[in-house]
Each structure stands twice: as structure tokens, then as C-alpha cells.
């Protein structure tokens, strides 16, 4: 009986992801101090509306990037600090936001709609 052909290992090209990550970081660097944006708004601005989760991955990969990326300014669509688990301590994300004058209560941005920064409006 013939042996089945040996499968070649799949090569994953991360260069497209890396480019996407860099685009995300560039947008996040433009979020003004004292304002926040969302994963979805950033994905939508980059033309990849359904890639909010990828924006989250980019935020998780941003901690050692230079120039610095203010990842604390990116929250979920309801203003929740869902990314806080990726910071060095459980409270660091909130502490950084408080330093910028952003109030957080029960892990949710207070007056979220008021301080929301939409790159689709602000960067046009």
C-alpha cells in the first residue's frame, strides 16, 4: 500500500498582521489625553469593521512598542476596561486613566459617551 504524501508544514505569514498592528498603534497614539476610543471604532476606521478582536490583540502586543502606545485609552463598546487583564497589575489601566482625568466606576468609564473619541470623525 502506498504511503500518503507527506504534508508540508504550513507557513504563516504574520507580516500582514504586523502591518495591521502598526496601523492600530498609529491610531491609538492619536487618541488625545483624557479621551478614549473603542476596539470597534478603531477597526472601522482602518476599514476592517469586523476586526475589533484583532485591535485587542494589537493592544496586547503594544506594551513593548516604541514609541509608546497609550493602550489604556482603548476600551470596549460600552466603556468597560476589558483590556485591564493585560496590564502589569490588575489596577494599572484604571490608574493610568485616572492620571488623565478619566473617572472609572466599577471598571466602566464614567461619561463614556462624552469622552469617546471616534477616529472616523476626528481623523477625517
pLDDT per position as a tens digit, 71-111: 999 999 999 999 999 999 999 999 999 999 999 999 999 99
Rounded CA gap, 51 and 1, in Å?
Answer: 47
pLDDT given for residue 122 in this prediction: 76
What pLDDT is attached to residue 9? 45
The confidence score (pLDDT) of residue 4 equals 54
Quick check: 5 pLDDT over 70? no
Residue 7 has pLDDT above 60, yes or no: no
Tell me, what's the pLDDT at 3? 56
Q: What are the helix (H) ranges across 1-124? A: 15-29, 39-45, 52-60, 92-99, 112-115, 119-122
| Chain mean pLDDT for the chain | 89
Q: What is the per-residue pLDDT for 8? A: 45
57 and 80 Cβ atoms separated by less than 8 Å? no
Q: Stretch 107-116: mean pLDDT, rounded?
A: 97
43-71 burial: b if 16+ Cβ within 10 Å, else e: bbbbeeeebbebbbbbbebbeeeeeebbb
Of residues 53 and 18, more confidently modeled: 53
Domains of the chain: 17-122 (1.10.10.10)
Amino acid at each position: 500500500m502506498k504511503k500518503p504524501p507527506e504534508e508540508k508544514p504550513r507557513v504563516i505569514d504574520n507580516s500582514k498582521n504586523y502591518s495591521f498592528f502598526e496601523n492600530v498603534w498609529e491610531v491609538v497614539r492619536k487618541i488625545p489625553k483624557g479621551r478614549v476610543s473603542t476596539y470597534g471604532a478603531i477597526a472601522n476606521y482602518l476599514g476592517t469593521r469586523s476586526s475589533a478582536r484583532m485591535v485587542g490583540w494589537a493592544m496586547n502586543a503594544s506594551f513593548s512598542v516604541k514609541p509608546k502606545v497609550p493602550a489604556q485609552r482603548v476600551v470596549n463598546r460600552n466603556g468597560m476596561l476589558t483590556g485591564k487583564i493585560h496590564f502589569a497589575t490588575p489596577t494599572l489601566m484604571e490608574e493610568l486613566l485616572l492620571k488623565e482625568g478619566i473617572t472609572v466606576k466599577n471598571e466602566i468609564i464614567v461619561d463614556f459617551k462624552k469622552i469617546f473619541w471616534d477616529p472616523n470623525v476626528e481623523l477625517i
